[in-house]
Structure 1
Amino acid sequence: MELTTVWFIIIAGLWVGYFVLEGFDFGVGTLLRVIGRDEPERRAVITTIGPVWDGNEVWLIVAGGATFAAFPEWYATLFSGFYLPLFAILVALILRGVALEYRGKRDDLLWRGRMDTVITIGSVAPAFLWGITFANLVRGVPLDSSYEYVGSLGDLLSPFALLGGVAFTAVFVAHGAIFLALRTTGELRERANRFAARFGVVAAVLTVGFLLWALELRGDVASSVLAGVAACALVAGLVANRFRREGWAFAGTALAIGLAVTALFVAMFPAVMPSTLDPSSTLTTVDAASTPYTLKILTIIAAIFTPLVMLYQGWTYWVFRKRVTVEPVAVS
């Protein structure tokens, strides 16, 4: 297997890890005011992701760095053409991180309420914009013969892209609700379970609709099979949630997100930036790749450090695996 293909698979795997893990972070942040009805409950909701949210964002950093190193032309075209949505994602993630860290710095309900609002916005906006971004990667964008983006912001907001944004957001919210049901107790757990059962149907319909449209645009047999299994995993997760088997439910939604993202990457390959103007202007893995020597060095580095990072993150999840209880919080 050529190293360009190997690194396309590695980058796809990094994005899968990011969306599976950061996906429930986005869902929990979106549901902060929906599931948490008062300050003690919202404190408990935040505590479920407190030890892991920043570690989950490492997957995004590594994915971006790997793209820059292995496929610099892809990185340049993507970040120049999608500058505004990617910049908005960056700002939203920064503000969300600040709000998560500073929420408990003052015993003031007004202060915490404002931080909760920032957390919610900083969770919804990236989920929606990532959906738009990946929908456009599947659909294609206007590229000239130099692989330069020649479209406008409006070209990124097609009906298919907007559906992608809504579908990504919906499935992350369902994923987050199931995570809350898995990690909490009492009324908070019951409320999260009920919400996941009801909203999960909406998320499933939107996700299946988006995948069907994506496969019609770029799909093949392999991506169609993966998308079909993803849909089945999502339904199985929702069924498990109704039977109060939150562990299996979370595994189902995680598998569904992972397989759905994998299906999108399989449908894209070998094109990383399809051109809607001229097929000859489509940017492929070969066109975008670094030199073979660079890819070889990157492969050695990845083989050494990737297992260590994954072991550390797995250890973190194991340490903080216990359910979170709602406890009274004294505020002035």
Structure 2
Amino acid sequence: MELHDVWFVAIAVLWVGYFFLEGFDFGVGILTKLLARDRKERRVLINTIGPVWDGNEVWLITAGAATFAAFPEWYATLFSGFYLPLLLILVCLIVRGVAFEYRAKRSGERWQTNWEHAIFWASLLPALLWGVAFGNIVHGVKIDANKEYVGTLGDLINPYAVLGGLVTLTLFTFHGAVFTALKTLGDIRLRARRTATGLGVVAAVLALGFLTWTQIDGGDGSSLIAMIIAAVALVAAIGFNLAGREGWSFALSGAAIAAAVSMLFLTLFPDVMPSSLDPRWSLTVENASSTPYTLRIMTWCGAIALPLVMLYQGWTYWVFRKRIGTQHIADPAH
């Protein structure tokens, strides 16, 4: 196994971690409008992710940095071709972070309402656009012989990619609802479980169609195994949610996301960005990678830094593991 193969796997793992963790972040942000009935309940939802949302985004930064260093051709083509969608995602992440921090700085109703709208939309749009982006990456885009994207923004809006966006949107919202049930007390916990059931069914139907399409389009035996794991885990997550076993349901909804993302990368390999114009023009792990020397240095740095980051993040989740409810929110809300 060559180092460029190792770093392809490493980047896949980083994206799995990001979607597992930031997935429920996005879901909770969306649920601030769909589940919460008043400002106090919205504060409960925001507080469930308050200590961890910024740490979850480290996985995205690391995945982007690893792609830039290990596969510069992939990074260049991806960010030039997907410039507007990725810029919109970046703006949403910035606005979302500002909204979390600024919302409670003033007690005015209009001030807080506007920032709550920002949290909702800045959670919903990335949850949708990440699926659209990965749908295009896996399905193939217009890359010419010079490794440059020559399509238009409209080319990125196609049925397969839109279905991928709907899958990530519903799957992340389901993941967030299960997380909410796991982290809250009282009536909001029960409503989160009921909401999760409906969301889980919708996500399962959409995901089955998307993953089946992916498998037929370019899958193999390993991607089929990942697809089966994703389907079983998602159905089991819905079942455990119905039984009131939030911990198991959350673990399994996360496993479904991990298996689905793994399937996409298994389908993609050895390409990193297939060309829909000519397979010979596709970016692969070989022609898009950095030099072996660069990859060796990155491997040593990653082997040292990644365990430390995982230990720190695990400790954070342990410290903030307790449930919260409206009784923990002081009146008046501010």
Give the equivalent residue in structure 1 for 2:291.
291
Deviation digits for residues 34-80 of structure 1, max 9, x if unmatched? 21111111111000000000000000000000000000000000000
Once the two structures are TM-superposed, the CA of residue 241 in structure 1 deviates from its matched residue by 0.2
Map of 1:37 onto structure 2: 37
Does the 8 Å contact 2:74/2:283 carry over to 1? Answer: yes
Q: How far 1:306 moved relative to its partner?
A: 0.5
Q: For residue 88 of structure 1, what is the aligned residue in structure 2?
A: 88
Separation in structure 1 between the aligned mates of residue 149 and residue 101 of structure 2, nearest angstrom: 37
Q: Counterparts in 2 of 1:100-179, with a 5 A limit? A: 100-179=100-179
C-alpha contact 1:141 1:276 (8 A) present in aligned 2 = yes
Q: Structure 1, residues 260-300: CA drift from partner, whole Å, max 9, x if none?
A: 00010011000001000011101100000000000000000
Tell me which residue corresponds to 2:331: 329
In structure 2, the residue matched to 1:53 is: 53
What aligned pairs does 1:68-79 form with structure 2 within 5 A after superposition?
A: 68-79=68-79
Q: Which whole-Å CA distance do the structure 2 matches of 1:328 and 1:232 have between them?
A: 42
Whether the 8 Å contact between 2:40 and 2:333 is mirrored in structure 1 is no
Aligned to 2:240: 240
SS in structure 2 of the partner of residue 31 of structure 1: helix
CA distance in 1, matches of 2:130, 2:61: 14
Aligned residue type for 1:7? W
Q: Runs (4+) of structure 1 moved beyond 2 Å?
A: none
The answer to whether the 8 A contact 2:143-2:282 is kept is yes
1:111 Cα deviation (Å)? 1.1
Quote the offset at 1:325 in angstroms. Answer: 1.6
Q: List per-residue Cα deviations over 1:101-138 (Å, max 9, x = no partner).
A: 11111111221111110000000100111000000011
Q: Does 1:17 align with 2:17?
A: yes
In 1, the alpha carbon distance for the partners of 2:114 and 2:217 equals: 42
3-state SS of paired residue (1:110): helix
Shift of 1:329: 2.7
**Structure 2 unaligned regions, length at least 5:** none
Please tell me whether the aligned partners of residues 109 and 331 of structure 1 are also in contact (alpha carbons under 8 angstroms): no
- After TM superposition, give the deviation of residue 328 of structure 1 in Å: 4.1
- TM-score between both structures, scaled by the size of structure 2: 0.98
Which amino acid is the alignment partner of residue 322 of structure 1?
K
Q: For 2:222 and 2:209, how far apart are their aligned partners in 1?
A: 18
Q: In the alignment, which residue of structure 1 is the partner of 2:191? A: 191
Would the aligned equivalents of 1:128 and 1:169 in 2 still touch at CA under 8 Å?
Answer: yes
CA RMSD of aligned residues (A): 0.8
* Residue 99 (structure 2) pairs with residue 99 (structure 1): yes
CA contact (8 A) 1:108 1:331 kept: no
Measure the CA separation in 1 of the matches of 2:87 and 2:49.
24
Q: TM-score, normalised by structure 1?
A: 0.99
Task: Describe how 1:184-263 pairs up with structure 2 within 5 A.
Answer: 184-263=184-263
Aligned pairs, number: 332
In 2: Cα distance, 1:155 partner to 1:213 partner? 19
1:226 counterpart letter in structure 2: A
Identity of aligned residues (%): 58
Distance in 2 (CA, whole Å) between partners of 1:266 and 1:114 is 42
> Unaligned 5+ residue runs, structure 1?
none
Aligned AA (1:96): R
- Cα gap change, 1:315/1:329 in structure 2, threshold over 3 Å: closer, same or farther? same
**Partner amino acid, structure 2, of 1:125:** L
